[in-house]
Amino acid sequence: MTQTPSFRDVEKLSAYLDGQLKPSEVARLEARLKTDPELASVLQDLRETRGILRQLPQRRAPRNFTLTPKMVGQKPPLPRTYPVLRFATVLATLLLFFTFATNFMAPRLVRTAAPYPYGIGGGGGGGGDPEAALEAAPAEPAAPALEAPAGKEPTAPEMPAPAPTKMVPPAEDSARLEPTPGPFEKSGVQVTPTVETLTLQTVPDEAEQAKRLVRPISAMVQIMLAGIAILSGLIALLLRTFAIRQWRTKAK
Amino acid sequence: MDEPALIKAAQRGGLDSFNTLVLAYQDILFNTALRIMGDEDSAADATQEAFLSAFRAIKSFRGGSFKAWLLRTVTNACYDELRRQKRRPTAPLEPETDDGEEMETPRWMADPAMSPEEEAEADDLEHAIQHCLDELPLEFRTVVVLTDIQGMDYKEAARTVRTPLGTIKSRLARARLRLRECLQGFWELLPAAFRLEEEGIRT
Q: Which helix (H) or strand (E) holds B121?
A: helix B116-122
Residue-level pLDDT at A58 = 86
Q: Which helix (H) or strand (E) holds B127?
A: helix B125-135
Same domain as B115, residue B75? no
**Whole-number Å distance between alpha carbons of A167 and A209:** 10
Most confident of A68-72, A76-80, A133-137, B10-14: B10-14
Task: Say if CB A158 and CB A116 are below 8 A apart.
Answer: no
Which residue of B40, B176, B179, B199 is the best one to mutate when testing the A interface, meaning the one whose CB has the most A CBs within 10 A?
Answer: B176
Q: Which chain B residues have a beta carbon less than 8 Å from that of A10? A: 173, 177
Residues A22-50: pLDDT tens digits?
999 999 999 999 999 999 999 988 998 89
Question: Which of B52, B87, B122 finishes a domain?
Answer: B87
Distances from the Cα of A149 to the Cα of A87, A155, A165, angstroms: 56, 12, 17
Same domain as B125, residue B56? no
Of A122, A146, A145, the residue nearest A134 (C-alpha): A122
Q: Is the pLDDT confidence value at B13 over 70?
A: yes
Is the ipTM beyond the 0.85 threshold? no
Same domain as B19, residue B66? yes
Task: Say if CB B161 and CB B170 are below 8 A apart.
Answer: no
- With CA atoms as reference, the chain B residue closest to A68 would be B15
Inside any domain, residue B54: yes
Stretch A116-141: mean pLDDT:
45
Same domain as B115, residue B73? no
CB contact under 8 A, A13 and B173: yes
What angle (nearest 5°) sits at the alpha carbon of residue A232, between those of residues A231 and A234?
Answer: 65
Q: Is the pLDDT confidence value at B170 over 90?
A: yes
Same domain as B116, residue B44? no
Stretch A200-205: mean pLDDT:
53
Report residue B195 CA to chain centroid gap.
Answer: 24
Say which range, A61-70, A116-125, A222-231, has the weakest mean pLDDT: A116-125
Q: How many structural domains are present in chain B?
A: 2
Three-class secondary structure of residue B96 per DSSP: strand
Q: Is the pLDDT confidence value at A86 over 50?
A: yes
Inside any domain, residue B151: yes
Residue-level pLDDT at A161 = 47
Residue-level pLDDT at A251 = 59
**Whole-number Å distance between alpha carbons of A186 and A29:** 123
Inside any domain, residue B196: yes
Q: Which chain B residues have a beta carbon less than 8 Å from that of A50? A: 148, 176
Same domain as B47, residue B7? yes
Same domain as B191, residue B127? yes
- The C-alpha R_g of chain B, in whole angstroms, comes to 19
Say which range, A70-79, B148-157, B184-193, has the weakest mean pLDDT: B184-193
Residue-level pLDDT at B33 = 96
Residues B21-42: pLDDT tens digits?
999 999 999 999 999 999 899 9
Cβ partners under 8 Å of residue A234, min gap 6: none
Inside any domain, residue B102: no
Task: Give me the total of CB pairs closer than 8 Å, taking one residue from chain A and one from chain B.
Answer: 115
Q: Which chain B residues have a beta carbon less than 8 Å from that of A52? A: 125, 129, 179, 183, 190, 194, 198
Q: Which chain B residues have a beta carbon less than 8 Å from that of A20? A: 153-154, 169
Is A46 at the interface with chain B, CB within 8 A?
yes
Residue-level pLDDT at B76 = 94
Stretch B84-102: mean pLDDT:
62
pTM of the full structure: 0.58
Q: Which domain range does residue B70 map to? A: 3-87
Same domain as B117, residue B197? yes
* CATH number for position B45: 1.10.1740.10
Same domain as B148, residue B116? yes
Of A247, A233, A209, the residue nearest A91 (C-alpha): A233
Of A171, A159, A64, the residue nearest A117 (C-alpha): A159
Distances from the Cα of B128 to the Cα of A60, A84, B69, B122, angstroms: 19, 64, 29, 9
Q: Which amino acid is located at A150 in the chain?
A: A
Q: What percent of chain B lies above the pLDDT cut of 70?
A: 74
Same domain as B75, residue B123? no
* CATH number for position B148: 1.10.10.10
Would you tell me how many other CB atoms lie within 10 Å of the CB of residue A144?
Answer: 12
Q: Is the pLDDT confidence value at B106 over 60?
A: no
Inside any domain, residue B40: yes
Residues in chain A: 252
Q: Outline where chain A has alpha helix (H).
A: 7-17, 23-35, 37-54, 81-113, 130-136, 142-147, 171-177, 183-186, 195-202, 206-214, 219-251
Task: Say if CB A184 and CB A141 are below 8 A apart.
Answer: no
Inside any domain, residue B105: no
All structural domains of chain A with their residue ranges: 7-54, 81-214
Inside any domain, residue B104: no
Inside any domain, residue B103: no
Residue A158 has, within 13 A of its CA and on its CB side, a CA count of 18
Is A6 at the interface with chain B, CB within 8 A?
no
pLDDT range class, residue A73, cuts 50, 70, 90: confident
CB contact under 8 A, B173 and A53: no
Q: What are the contacts of B190-198 at 24+ separation with CB within 8 A?
A: B190/A52, B190/B125, B190/B128, B191/B124, B191/B125, B194/A52, B194/A55, B194/B125, B197/A51, B198/A48, B198/A51, B198/A52
Q: Is the pLDDT confidence value at A163 over 50?
A: no
How distant is the Cα of A35 from the closest Cα of chain B, in angstroms?
A: 18
Residues A100-114: pLDDT tens digits?
888 888 777 766 665
